Amino acid sequence: MGLIGLTTEELSELVAKHKAPSYRGKQLSHWIYRRYASDFNEMSDLPADLRSDIHQEYTINPIHISACVKSSDGVVKYLFEMGDGERIESVYLPYPDRVSICVSTQAGCPMRCAFCATGSEGLSRNLTAGEIVGQALALQRERPDRRISHVVYMGMGEPLLNYDATLKSVRLLINEVGFSARHITLSTVGVPDGIRKLSRENAPVTLALSLHAPNDQLRARLIPTAMKWRLAEILQACREYFDATGRNLTFEYLLLQGVNDSPEHAESLATLLEGLPGNVNLIPYNPVKVDQTFRRPNTKGIQAFREVLERRGRVVTQRMERGGGISAACGQLRRHAFEAQQPEISAAPER
Ligand code: SF4
């Protein structure tokens, strides 16, 4: 079991069991969440016998980096292995003005989106809060040159179907690691009860809704398991989230040529979102070698779609193309690791 995942209060309770005063819990918290310690020997101001006692029962980080693949533009995709051998992915994205990471909340995913490698394999299990936060801390330790400023919950899994662990990880990132809630984005396919619950948590993260279609019928083709929640209900929950938190939403829209990218689809999308605050983020599909089902629209088509939305008064952004050399979609690195023992990835980086 990892210490990462425990709050300072829980760490203080832990040291109390070993007859140590509660300030030792705060020291422990400082070492793991602010100094990214990965070895008990680094914790020089904690008594050696206390470190040794805790080490009998706990590791520090419950996950470790097992491989990575680097793109020429600085993006790095990491494969993590957990205690039971399950594997997940995270992505490190450096920009001139910030460093963002994309973390996973589940090993696999139950949503089975038609365009996603992770979804095609189904869910293995939920991650713990420690396994979610552990991704951020391991990457910060791995890349000490720049401070990670933004965390996006957009990796493997549907965060709101692992609600308690996801929320605890958000609180740990804010309260223990020191992230601003404004710099945390939680991406969901739209789980109305989860969105409503989150709006009452006083953890005002940015909510990104993976919309991808302007009507229920088309959406059911792309996100089959999301059919139990109608768009009207999802968008009503989004409105409640905005009312409760004051945070604008982002509507993610994956553009798939000939599927959801016509000007008529753009008109329907604009109508669907009328009265709802938030920008639309267009994501032109990034084709994956192993799956030729979908294609990326051409530049003219993307521009035409965008113009319809803008003419209807919607602010539109387009996701910056990053990680070209590692164009594998979400879940591809994990799949490689399962299918072949020698994928085109490097071994775990040295510490
Ligand atoms: S796109 Fe996201 S929600 Fe859909 S199957 Fe993949 S990981 Fe799950």
Domain boundaries 8-57, CATH class: mainly alpha
Residue 87, pLDDT score: 95
Instruction: Name the 3-class secondary structure at 237.
Output: helix
Ligand 1 pocket at CB < 6 A: 109, 111-113, 116, 118-119, 156-158, 189, 330
Higher per-residue pLDDT: 112 or 271: 271
Quote the tokens at residue 1.
């079991």
Q: 219: CA distance to ligand 1 center in Å?
A: 13
Q: Is the pTM of this model over 0.85?
A: yes
What is the average pLDDT across 78-83? 95
Catalytic residues: 89, 330
Q: Which of 140, 49, 57, 51 is nearest to 103 (CA)?
A: 140
**Start-to-end CA span in the chain (Å):** 22
Number of Cβ within a 10 Å radius of residue 283: 16
Q: 117: CA distance to ligand 1 center in Å?
A: 8
Quote the tokens at residue 194.
């989860």
H or E segment at 300? helix 299-311
CB 147 within 8 A of CB 95: no
pLDDT at residue 319 is higher than 90 = no
Q: What angle do CA 210, 215, 220 make, to 5 degrees?
A: 70
Per-residue model confidence as pLDDT tens digits over 177-227? 999 999 999 999 999 999 999 999 999 899 999 999 999 999 999 998 888
| Mean pLDDT for all residues in the chain | 90
Residue 290, pLDDT score: 52
34 DSSP 8-state letter: I
What is the average pLDDT across 223-244? 93
Pocket test for ligand 1, best of 291, 330, 335 (most atoms within 8 A of CB): 330
Q: Which atom of ligand 1 is nearest to the CA of 158?
A: 3
Per-residue model confidence as pLDDT tens digits over 133-170? 999 999 999 999 999 999 999 999 999 999 999 999 99
Q: Which of 155, 85, 92 is nearest to 118 (CA)?
A: 155
- Bridge partners of 210, per DSSP, are 252
Q: Which atom of ligand 1 is nearest to the CA of 119?
A: 5
pLDDT at residue 257 is higher than 90 = yes
Higher per-residue pLDDT: 337 or 287: 287
Which CATH homologous superfamily contains domain 63-347? Answer: Aldolase class I (3.20.20.70)
Per-residue model confidence as pLDDT tens digits over 269-291? 999 999 999 999 999 987 765 56
Confidence tier at 335 by pLDDT (50, 70, 90):
low
Per-residue model confidence as pLDDT tens digits over 163-190? 999 999 999 999 999 999 999 999 999 9
CB 209 within 8 A of CB 251: yes
Q: Where are the domains of the chain?
A: 8-57, 63-347
262 DSSP 8-state letter: S
Domains 8-57 and 63-347 share a fold: no
